[in-house]
């Protein structure tokens, strides 16, 4: 700092310059105020260190006396940017233009705040400044947040530490959810601070191109490209994805890329990393990757930030159902569902997965209220329910709709599309038979009896519905607990919003 006309000037220094032009262009950076400073010449995707103080320029005459830096992008039409610092009514900022002195002049992108050390990032579209070295620490960082993050990485599980050791099954999900929730807590605090500047903490959209200049940078950027082309290449399950990210690219970003590129002294050690602005850009990027992974895993579905795949979720894919049937007659129905949840659907045990009737729930209009699974269905797999339905004996229009459930635990997932089926050729609503065929009627009664027995088989809950681990796990995910006596099913009113409320909300990032 030094004084000028009674005003104490904040000194801002460019320590490093990156050429991030997307086409092979050379940039030159020159201080016109201190012509003794070396002129930087930087080719595409290279960086150069320097020590250039940004000149104070408060008037056209200052400007005429060379109180500025120029950044020239070398093409035939490439712009020259003039860079200087002035305090005007909009504040004390680093400013730039392509046409010479302006008052007040545009703020330079991202971090125009004065005082401290900066990286200057140059693209053909403009200039940006990022904190460099000691300038990265977030002021007044709450010790509660710092300690929480430090404990997760360093303490034993019973003292705030992670529950699952790094690299073990489950650790990837724990890593993702802990850091995502930590970011939310941080944002809540940070956004209330007078110095809050969302440019400093906003997540990277992708790894910044200047990371090419770090050790192993091109390889890591190729990894990211591979991920963007095929997100599941970073893990075929959410947990595997989390493990890959934590041990691989996340470690590299912390310990190599950010320290090497931005001279950040905090990020390489988890002890103090959470005090760095770059921590939030980095973990925000990881959250974006996570959402990208989830979208690839569940095409057509949107997940929220910080949300892991629910245990129970189903997606209705397709169905083959006639729209007109003869009263009392049987007909084939085919329904395809996809398991979108983490839990495998199984047909046995005390809480079997089944297709259940809806509209109204548990109805037996079509002769059955439950359809058993033909086979176990792991997550992401499809299952076809092929079964025989029996039409009511009274003419009219009836709904047919289905949904997945785990008996005594929860209904879940999207329902099948409601189909209104016309029943014809049977009794009229007044109870009069259109045709009088006693044999048929007898057959139908037999049929009804058979179907009812079959129903009972499905509808009656298992004898000893114990609340085992799996059941409790599902309960944690928002499912109702079954009645202790196991005598009743969950009714429509009680039906918890498993996987629906959260999954169907629009994605903030979209
Ligand atoms: Cu961490």
Shared domain for 278 and 340, answered yes or no, is no
Q: Does residue 509 belong to any structural domain of this protein?
A: no
- CATH number at 357 reads 2.60.40.10
> Are 439 and 492 part of one and the same domain?
yes
Q: pLDDT tens digits, residue range 187-215?
A: 889 988 998 888 888 899 999 999 998 99
470 CA → ligand 1 middle, Å? 30
Whether 508 maps to a domain, the answer reads no
pLDDT of residue 499: 31
| 399 CB-near residues (< 8 Å, 6+ apart) | 359, 365, 418, 419, 420, 421
Q: From the CA atom positions of the chain, what is the Rg in Å?
A: 32
Angle at CA of residue 347, ends 345 and 350, nearest 5°? 100
- Please check whether residues 165 and 205 belong to one and the same domain: yes
Give residue 270 CA to ligand 1 midpoint distance, Å: 6
CA of 176 to the centre of ligand 1 (A): 9
Domain boundary among 297, 322, 339: 297
The rounded distance, in Å, linking the Cα atoms of 504 and 506 is 6
Do 100 and 202 lie in one domain? The reply is no
How many distinct structural domains can be found in the chain? 3
pLDDT above 90 coverage of the chain, percent = 47
The tens digit of pLDDT for each residue in 349-406 reads 999 999 999 999 999 999 999 999 999 998 777 899 999 999 999 999 999 999 999 9
53 and 201 fall within a common domain: no
Ligand 1 centroid to residue 367 C-alpha, Å: 56
Statement: residue 478 has pLDDT above 90: no
Q: Minimum mean pLDDT among 283-287, 332-336, 484-488: which range?
A: 484-488
Instruction: Compute the distance from residue 230 Cα to the ligand 1 centre, in Å.
Output: 26
| 78 and 103 together in one domain | yes
For residue 219, the surrounding DSSP H or E stretch is: helix 217-229
From ligand 1's centre to the CA of 261, what distance in Å? 20
| Residues 449 and 318 occupy one common structural domain | yes
Domain that holds residue 382: 314-502
Query: What is the domain-level CATH number for residue 68?
Result: 2.60.40
- In this predicted model, what pLDDT tens digit does every residue of 273-317 receive, in sequence order? 999 999 999 999 999 999 889 888 876 666 555 666 778 888 888
In a domain, 476, yes or no: yes
Residues facing residue 385 across a β-bridge: 335
Distance 272 CA to ligand 1 centre (A): 10
Q: How far is the CA of 306 from the centre of ligand 1 (A)?
A: 15
Stated pTM of the model: 0.62
What pLDDT score was predicted for residue 434?
Answer: 52
Q: How far is the CA of 153 from the centre of ligand 1 (A)?
A: 6
Q: Would 42 be classed as within a structural domain?
A: yes
Residues 263 and 319 in one domain: no
């Amino acid at each position: 700092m030094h004084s000028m006309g009674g005003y104490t000037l904040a000194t801002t220094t460019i320590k490093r310059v990156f050429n991030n032009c997307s086409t092979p262009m050379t940039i030159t950076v020159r201080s016109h105020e201190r012509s003794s400073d070396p002129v930087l010449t930087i080719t595409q995707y290279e960086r150069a260190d320097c020590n250039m103080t940004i000149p104070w320029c408060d008037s056209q005459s200052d400007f005429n006396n060379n109180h500025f830096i120029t950044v020239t992008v070398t093409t035939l039409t490439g712009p020259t940017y003039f860079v200087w610092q002035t305090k005007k009514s909009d504040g004390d900022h680093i400013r730039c233009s392509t046409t010479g002195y302006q008052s007040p002049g545009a703020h330079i992108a991202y971090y125009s705040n004065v005082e401290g050390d900066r990286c200057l990032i140059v693209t053909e579209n403009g200039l940006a400044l990022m904190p460099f070295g000691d300038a990265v620490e977030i002021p007044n960082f709450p010790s509660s947040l710092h300690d929480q993050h430090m404990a997760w990485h360093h303490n034993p599980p019973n003292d705030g530490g992670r529950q699952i050791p790094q690299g073990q099954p489950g650790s990837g999900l724990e890593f993702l959810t802990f850091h995502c929730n930590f970011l939310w807590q941080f944002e809540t605090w940070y956004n209330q601070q007078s110095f809050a500047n969302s440019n400093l903490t906003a997540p990277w959209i992708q790894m910044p191109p200047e990371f090419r200049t770090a050790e192993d940078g091109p390889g890591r950027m190729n990894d990211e490209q591979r991920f963007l082309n095929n997100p599941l290449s970073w893990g075929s399950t959410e947990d595997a994805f989390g493990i890959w990210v934590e041990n691989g690219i996340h470690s590299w970003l912390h310990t190599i890329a950010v320290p090497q590129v931005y001279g950040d002294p905090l990020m390489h050690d988890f002890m103090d990393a959470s005090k760095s602005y770059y921590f939030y850009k980095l973990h925000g990027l990881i959250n974006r990757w996570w959402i990208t992974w989830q979208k690839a895993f569940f095409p057509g579905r949107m997940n929220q930030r910080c949300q892991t795949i629910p245990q129970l979720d189903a997606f209705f894919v397709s169905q083959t159902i006639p729209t007109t049937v003869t009263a009392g007659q049987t007909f084939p129905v085919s329904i395809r569902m996809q398991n979108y949840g983490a839990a495998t659907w199984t047909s046995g045990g005390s809480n079997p997965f089944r297709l259940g009737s809806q509209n109204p729930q548990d109805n037996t209009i079509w002769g059955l209220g439950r359809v058993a699974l033909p086979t176990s269905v792991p997550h992401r797999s499809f299952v076809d329910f092929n079964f025989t339905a029996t039409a009511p004996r009274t003419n009219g229009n009836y709904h047919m709709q289905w949904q997945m459930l785990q008996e005594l635990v929860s209904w879940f997932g999207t329902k099948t599309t409601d189909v209104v089926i016309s029943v014809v050729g049977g009794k009229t609503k007044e109870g009069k038979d259109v045709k009088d065929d006693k044999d048929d009627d007898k057959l139908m009664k037999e049929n009804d009896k058979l179907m009812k027995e079959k129903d009972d088989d499905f509808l009656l809950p298992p004898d000893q519905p114990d609340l085992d681990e799996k059941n409790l796990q599902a309960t944690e995910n928002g499912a109702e607990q079954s009645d202790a006596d196991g005598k009743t099913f969950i009714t429509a009113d009680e039906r918890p919003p498993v996987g629906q409320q959260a999954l169907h909300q629009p994605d903030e990032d979209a």
